[in-house]
Amino acid sequence: MIMSAALSLVLLAVVLALASSAASLFAARTPTVIRLLAMPLFCLAGMAALAGGLSALLNGDAITATLPLGLPWLPWRVQLDALSGFFLAIIGVVSFAVGIYGPAYVRGFEKGRDSLVALGGFSGLFLAGMMTVVLAADAFLFMVAWEVMSLSSYFLVAFQHDNAANRRAAFLYLLMAHVGGLAILLGYGVLASFGDGFAFDAMRAATLSPAWASVAFALAFLGFGMKAGLVPLHAWLPEAHPVAPSHISALMSGVMLKVAVYGFIRFVFDLVGELQWQWGVAVLAIGCISALFGVLAALMQRDLKRLLAYSSVENLGIIFIGLGLALLFLSTGHSLPGVLAFIAALYHALNHALFKGLLFLGAGAILHSSHERDLEQMGGLLRRMPWTGFLFLVGCISIAALPPFNGFVSEWLTFQSALRAWQFDSGVLRSLVPIASAVLALTGALVAATFVKVYGVAFLGQARSRHVRHARAVPFGMRAGQAVLAALCLLMGVIPTGVIGALNAIPEQLLHSGLPQAVSHNWLSVNLAASNSASYSAPLVAVLLALIVAAVVWVLHRGPVRRVRRCDAWDCGFAPPGNRMQYTATAFAQPIRRVFAHLFLVDEAVVPRNDGGQRYQLTIGDRTWGIFYLPVARWVEAASRRVVRLQSGNVRLYLGWTLLTLLVLLWIIS
């Protein structure tokens, strides 16, 4: 009975999300309905999804049901197994936090010109769409829910559509979402043509030839990779995520990208069947490139939300590194390291949802109180917004993969699985996998640099502009939403064995092999294989760190001198340091920019100003635009120009085309 309770909880969550959307229809008349009714319903939907997903994950059985909706010969099927349960839990927890955060944030839009009906209505639809994608058990429902998810997020991205740049960003997002969706549909089409029907069960049972399996894999990787923001198909991410309202950006970055990861895992690990090692190499390579490129681009940004968007590209790269390693190990027959890599990827998906959601909510708080997104205007916010500052620090430490928070655990697991490369038979793979992990190490160090820059420039130092100097702390609701995610970041970092044990159900179901009991059931430390081989005792490390800090503080404060006196900062005897003498965000990143300059289109110029002074201009462009997007755009344009010749305007010619098509169709039917 518990099983169907989980499914009913999840379906309740979908219904609540739709109700939240419906409730927002009244927002035109009474704007407060958004924060009084729609957002709390949103929060409840998140709670229900979390509860249902967790119970499905922990119980580990697969439940299927058929909904009385859809086409007569193609009813919609839903299934709730451990994988869906896990991703539903991710969706649920972030939506829960966003639901708590939302009312106070949305209040800022009540007096504005943008339509609140659109905001509330499409948020609910977006959540419902995402949950249904994860639940879908046949390709038809999957694609319908995918479209609902993409379209509603398009409207949310275009929320503040007065600005032309926002409209352009939204259009780019819509275009790429649909190209990706088309690729996914074609992939399902390949699978469906070999099986009998669109249901996932039929696709699982089908057997494909290796060539067709690779075609299906390539289409799925293209489609889901585009949605996940892998290089070179990432261009929409840094345009679309910053312009959406911040709680929606948290949802998009934290949750929607994970739904793309879910789709990829479901397609490749569950439906396609026999895995091939070439796929693993491709996924690993693209993951490495995305991770490195994403973090370098993030380091160069001065817009906080754009920086966080590029950082999402990087983290998705890390998740796909884990998935690529899993593919490599599983396809060459080493199931234990493959399962380890798979669990590392899933853990990182959870962690990214938590800390990226937290960071975007923090960026929203900064935007709410100082109306500023540009890092070069911020500074000293820690003393004006202490709680937001503290919680944002937790987010920065987590994303920089530092112990004892959660980001470190998933990086540790990814490194450990890469280290099992000595088990490969092929010497080439044994050399390439460690090189990939060196790229991962470089990425990790650059992420730490990026978030030192973000936190140091935004929260520390002195304020660089007047409105930031007058920023005030945000309302309690916004702080509570962030606090929930921050507490979970710490929790996921300190009890990794519990999480790994829970995650173990997923590979057991999908791949029919899991990590042995010894790994997951020792609560104190994660030990892989023998205890002398690789271990990390997260709770002990956290406790010892706290103990040492407490002990040192106690010892030193018993000394004779306890007082702290305030004075001016060191100024070499010249004038006191003003706020313009601090390092700016661009200055902080300059050494690294200089080392990696050839990866970007860096355009630096010193131009004279009208008043005789000089201005330093720096533009950093994305090379993939020139290498990939512009040629594609030019090709499409050239092809369309040729097709346009069909539209000659002559009525008789059109009738002639109609006759020709009719003849061809009649001939085919006969």
Partner 1 sequence: MSLVSLPLLQQFLLVLAALVLFTSFVLLSQARLVSAIHAFAWQGGLVAAVTGVVAVAGSSGHLYFSALLTLVLKAALIPWMLHRLIRRLELERHVESLRWPAIVNMVAVILVIFSYWLVLPMVQQELAFTRNIVAISLAVVLIGLWMMVVRQQAVAQVLGFMSMENGLFLAAVSATAGMPLVVELGVAFDVLVAMVLFGVFFFQIRQSIDSLDVDRLNRLTETVDEEADLEFSAAPRRPHTVTARPAAVEEAE
Partner 2 sequence: MDHLLNAAAPVAAVLQAMLYAAAAPLLVGWIRKVKARLQNRRGPSVLQPYRDLRKLLAKEVRVAHTASPLFRAAPYIVFAATWLAAATVPLLAVNLPTAALADIIVLVGLLALARFFLALAGMDVGTAFGGMGASREMLVSALAEPAMLMAVFTLAMTAHSTNLAGVIDFQLSNEFALRPSFMFALGGLVLVALAETGRIPVDNPATHLELTMIHEAMLLEYSGRHLALMEWAAQIKLLLYGTLIANVFFPWGIAQSFAAGALGMGIAAVAAKLLLLGAALAIGETVLAKMRLFRAPAFLNLALLLALLGLLSHVILEVGA
- Please, which of residues 432-461 interact with partner 1 by CB under 8 A? 432, 435
Q: Identify the residue among 317, 444, 507, 514 touching partner 2 (CB under 8 A).
A: 444
Of 123, 125, 129, give the one whose Cα is nearest residue 105: 123
Of 319, 321, 309, 350, give the one whose Cα is nearest residue 450: 309
Strand bridging mode 74-80 / 526-527: unpaired
Residues 554-583 that bind partner 2 (CB under 8 A): 556, 559-561, 563-571, 577, 579, 581-583
Rounded least distance, CB 276 to partner 2, Å: 23
Establish whether the linkage from the previous residue to 577 is cis, with ω within 30° of 0. Answer: no
Q: Which stretch binds partner 1 (CB under 8 A): 201-209, 247-255, 379-387, 427-435?
A: 427-435
Q: Any idea what DSSP says for residue 374? A: B
Cα 562 versus chain centre, distance: 46
Is residue 427 at the binding interface for partner 1, with CB under 8 A as the rule? yes
**The entry of partner 1, partner 2, none that residue 154 binds, CB within 5 to 8 Å by partner kind:** none
Residues 556-585 that bind partner 1 (CB under 8 A): none
Distance CA 545, CA 539 (A): 10
Rounded least distance, CB 435 to partner 1, Å: 8
Q: Which is nearer to partner 2, 561 or 668 (CB)?
A: 561
Residues 479-508 that bind partner 1 (CB under 8 A): none
**The entry of partner 1, partner 2, none that residue 517 binds, CB within 5 to 8 Å by partner kind:** none
Is residue 428 at the binding interface for partner 1, with CB under 8 A as the rule? yes
Angstrom CA distances, 131 to 156, 201, 571, 645, stand at 17, 20, 57, 45
**The entry of partner 2, partner 1, none that residue 442 binds, CB within 5 to 8 Å by partner kind:** partner 2
Distance CA 389, CA 374 (A): 17
Six-digit token pair at 359?
Answer: 């960071």
Distance CA 56, CA 193 (A): 31
**The entry of partner 1, partner 2, none that residue 25 binds, CB within 5 to 8 Å by partner kind:** none
Angstrom CA distances, 341 to 44, 295, 480, 504, stand at 34, 22, 34, 12
Is residue 431 at the binding interface for partner 1, with CB under 8 A as the rule? yes
Of 98, 367, 104, 147, give the one whose Cα is nearest residue 255: 98
Residue 349 CB neighbour total at 10 angstroms: 25
Residues 404-443 that bind partner 2 (CB under 8 A): 408, 411-412, 415-416, 418-419, 421-422, 427, 430-431, 434-435, 437-439, 441-442
Is residue 397 at the binding interface for partner 2, with CB under 8 A as the rule? yes
Cβ distance 208 to 272 under 8 Å? yes
Residues 66-85 that bind partner 1 (CB under 8 A): none
Q: Which is nearer to partner 2, 269 or 588 (CB)?
A: 588
Q: Which is nearer to partner 2, 16 or 449 (CB)?
A: 449
Q: Which residues contact 273 (CB under 8 A, 6 or more apart)?
A: 204, 206, 207, 208, 213
Q: Which is nearer to partner 1, 432 or 452 (CB)?
A: 432
Residues 340-399 that bind partner 1 (CB under 8 A): none
- Residue keyed to tokens 């990182």: 348
Q: Which is nearer to partner 2, 551 or 663 (CB)?
A: 551
**The entry of partner 1, partner 2, none that residue 581 binds, CB within 5 to 8 Å by partner kind:** partner 2
Q: Identify the residue among 298, 446, 483, 485 touching partner 2 (CB under 8 A).
A: 446
**The entry of partner 2, partner 1, none that residue 279 binds, CB within 5 to 8 Å by partner kind:** none
Distance CA 429, CA 435 (A): 10
Q: Which is nearer to partner 2, 583 or 635 (CB)?
A: 583
Distance CA 574, CA 280 (A): 60
Residues 587-616 that bind partner 1 (CB under 8 A): 598
Residue 666 CB neighbour total at 10 angstroms: 9
Site string for partner 2, 509-538 (x = CB under 8 A): ----------------x-----xxxxxxx-
Is residue 531 at the binding interface for partner 1, with CB under 8 A as the rule? no
- Residue keyed to tokens 């479901």: 266
Is residue 476 at the binding interface for partner 2, with CB under 8 A as the rule? no
With 0-12 CB in 10 A as exposed, 13-18 as middle and 19+ as buried, what is 278? middle
**The entry of partner 2, partner 1, none that residue 165 binds, CB within 5 to 8 Å by partner kind:** none
Strand bridging mode 614-621 / 601-608: antiparallel
The number of residues that bind partner 1 (CB under 8 A) is 6
Q: Which stretch binds partner 2 (CB under 8 A): 140-148, 180-188, 205-213, 455-463?
A: 455-463
Q: Which is nearer to partner 1, 428 or 555 (CB)?
A: 428
Six-digit token pair at 127?
Answer: 């959540």
**The entry of partner 1, partner 2, none that residue 565 binds, CB within 5 to 8 Å by partner kind:** partner 2
Is residue 53 at the binding interface for partner 2, with CB under 8 A as the rule? no
Is residue 289 at the binding interface for partner 1, with CB under 8 A as the rule? no
Distance CA 275, CA 333 (A): 10
Q: Which is nearer to partner 1, 433 or 474 (CB)?
A: 433
**The entry of partner 2, partner 1, none that residue 531 binds, CB within 5 to 8 Å by partner kind:** partner 2
The number of residues that bind partner 2 (CB under 8 A) is 87
Q: Identify the residue among 2, 487, 540, 636 touching partner 2 (CB under 8 A).
A: 540
Is the Cα torsion angle 382, 387, 390, 395 positive or negative in sign? negative
Give the number of residues written for the chain. Answer: 670
Six-digit token pair at 375?
Answer: 């890092």
Cα 204 versus chain centre, distance: 28
- Residue keyed to tokens 């959660």: 406
Q: Which stretch binds partner 1 (CB under 8 A): 322-330, 395-403, 423-431, 528-536?
A: 423-431
Rounded least distance, CB 548 to partner 2, Å: 4
Rounded least distance, CB 34 to partner 2, Å: 35
Q: Which is nearer to partner 2, 540 or 632 (CB)?
A: 540
**The entry of partner 1, partner 2, none that residue 598 binds, CB within 5 to 8 Å by partner kind:** partner 1
Rounded least distance, CB 572 to partner 2, Å: 8
Is residue 402 at the binding interface for partner 2, with CB under 8 A as the rule? yes
**The entry of partner 2, partner 1, none that residue 298 binds, CB within 5 to 8 Å by partner kind:** none
Angstrom CA distances, 267 to 35, 191, 218, 517, 642, stand at 38, 10, 11, 28, 37
Q: Any idea what DSSP says for residue 526? A: E
Distance CA 236, CA 127 (A): 20
Cβ distance 263 to 224 under 8 Å? yes
Distance CA 656, CA 236 (A): 41
Is residue 652 at the binding interface for partner 2, with CB under 8 A as the rule? no
Is residue 553 at the binding interface for partner 2, with CB under 8 A as the rule? yes
Q: Identify the residue among 456, 475, 513, 624 touching partner 2 (CB under 8 A).
A: 456
Q: Which is nearer to partner 2, 102 or 380 (CB)?
A: 380
Q: Identify the residue among 590, 623, 624, 628 touching partner 2 (CB under 8 A).
A: 590
Residue 426 CB neighbour total at 10 angstroms: 11
Cβ distance 88 to 10 under 8 Å? yes
Of 488, 564, 501, give the one whose Cα is nearest residue 46: 488
Interacting residues toward partner 1 by CB under 8 A: 427-428, 431-432, 435, 598
